[in-house]
Amino acid sequence: MDHPASLLIAWRERAAYLEQFGDPTSARLWRLAALELDAALKALGDETLTLVEAAAVSGYSADHLGHVIRHGQLRN
């Protein structure tokens, strides 16, 4: 899987399959796991970083990130 978000699709599909073929308890657990992962991914997506922190994470310089933000190429 390329990205943790792709797990959401897989887990929801697994839940639907289990629901359809008679294992509602397991289906409910997979749906719950998908909900928890979705909430965690949204929380990470809402995380804010300073330019210095973003530079350390991205590998770009803080100056470069500031430039692309000011020019509307990257959302602040």
pLDDT 10s digits, 41-70:
888 777 788 899 888 888 899 999 999 999
- For residues 8 and 40, state if they share a domain: yes
- Number of domains the chain contains: 2
Domain that holds residue 13: 4-45
- For residues 8 and 39, state if they share a domain: yes
- For residues 38 and 66, state if they share a domain: no
The token pair that represents 10 in the structure block? 């897989």
Q: Which residues contact 52 (CB under 8 A, 6 or more apart)?
A: 62
Q: Give the pLDDT confidence score for residue 76 in this predicted structure.
A: 79
| Mean pLDDT on 10-20 | 95
- For residues 13 and 34, state if they share a domain: yes
- For residues 21 and 39, state if they share a domain: yes
Residues 54 and 48: their CA atoms lie apart, in Å, by 9
- For residues 29 and 61, state if they share a domain: no
Query: For residue 1, is pLDDT > 80?
Result: no
> pTM surpassing 0.75?
no
- For residues 27 and 58, state if they share a domain: no
